[in-house]
Structure 1
Amino acid sequence: MALLKAAGAGLVLGLLMGAPAFAQISSDGGPIYINSERTESLERERKVLLVGNVDIRQGTARLRADTVTIQFAPQQGETAAQPAQGVAGSFGQVESILAEGNVYYVTPELKAKGDRGNYELATDTIVMTGNVALMRDRDVAEGQRLVMEVTNRRTRLEGGGGRTRMVIDPEGKSQETP
């Protein structure tokens, strides 16, 4: 069983490393290291499921969640009736990454947590929902929905029917309130 898990993890790692480096969890690029309790490859659906204490690292970025689903885009000339064949065919380009349950995304610049996170290559956007917290240095923002436009370096936090909360420390040091 351990050999099967290792082979599955190796398969996913090989697929991600062999894929073009368009969708990544780090702007640094480089190899993607994946660790999970179980790995499932669904070739016909062009998906890889990572289940149980998923930990993905690339460069200086890290993504952790209970489960992660990686969806791959169809390759040129491929049809639903005739998908890529076997491991040698590779899955190709990552289309989206869905992380669910205790989601943490950490880079040197920020830390974000939520119940669910979704990255879409087409818009280069990360959306986190459910009890969201975003931390940059000593600044903290909380809400229900966080939208990060990666290329535009634009972040929007929504209260989801409630309000957003922020604590901003412009001096980088905590001030005592009277």
Structure 2
Amino acid sequence: MTALTRFLTALWAVFLVFAAAGPAAAQGADVSLGIADFDNSQPVEITSESLSVNQQAGNATFEGNVIVGQGEMVLTCDRMVVEYGADEGGRNDIRVIWLYGGVTFVGPSEAAEADSATYTLADETIVLTGNVLVTQGATAISSDRLIYNLQSGSGRMEGRVKTILNPGSN
């Protein structure tokens, strides 16, 4: 599985299943997340107004109306920076993916948005920052920051967490 596919799969997990602990508007809430049946073998398509690659710095920058799609999942943002470097075998591997400006993720019945997001492959962590909003059906949770660990399959919402639960609507 490519790093970008792992990133999209992880984002998919964030938006598919979430349950917050604690009262609405708490300072922090643990989030338990799960991955539904997602076909990550589908091709990943990236569209942008421009792409610049800096081999010396080891990064690629997609700018302007960036759209990343895989199957029914779509991720959009203003700018996406992909940092890469050679692994022990000399292959280029993605190390970190940064998303900036109007980061939005949409699945068939889920959506999320944030001002920015970072996926660090070494520690398998995704961090959504700034005006984070995750919705599934009529249920929504918002905060200043969401930290999600791929290895443990769980995350934590931090900073003025607000939860809206609509029983029986999902």
Q: TM bucket by the smaller chain?
A: 0.7 to 0.9
1:46 aligns to 2:58 (yes or no): yes
**Which stretch shows the higher mean deviation, 105-114 or 48-57?**
105-114
Which has the greater radius of gyration?
1
1:74 aligns to 2:86 (yes or no): yes
Letter in 2 for 1:134: V
Query: Which has more strand, going by share of residues?
Result: 2
| CA drift at 1:108 | 4.1
Q: Which runs of 5+ in 2 are unaligned?
A: 10-39
* Mapping 1:161-172, distance limit 5 Å: 163-172=160-169
Q: CA distance change for structure 1 residues 155 and 77 in 2, over 3 Å: closer, same or farther?
A: closer
**Partner of residue 21, structure 1:** 2
Letter in 1 for 2:103: V
Distance in 1 (alpha carbons) for counterparts of 2:113 and 2:43: 23
Q: CA distance change for structure 1 residues 121 and 23 in 2, over 3 Å: closer, same or farther?
A: farther
| CA drift at 1:126 | 1.2
Task: Tell me the percent identity.
Answer: 26
Secondary structure of the 1:26 match is helix
Of 28, 46, 49, 1:34 maps to 46
Secondary structure of the 2:8 match is coil
Higher RCO, Cα 8 Å, sep 6+:
2
CA RMSD of aligned residues (A): 2.1
- TM-score, length basis structure 1: 0.70
| CA drift at 1:92 | 2.2
Letter in 2 for 1:97: I
Distance in 2 (alpha carbons) for counterparts of 1:106 and 1:146: 17
Runs of 4 or more off by more than 3 Å in structure 1?
107-110
**Partner of residue 6, structure 1:** none
Distance in 1 (alpha carbons) for counterparts of 2:54 and 2:129: 26
Aligned residues: 139
**Partner of residue 135, structure 1:** 135
Q: Which runs of 5+ in 1 are unaligned?
A: 1-19, 79-90, 174-178
* Mapping 1:53-92, distance limit 5 Å: 53-76=65-88, 92=92
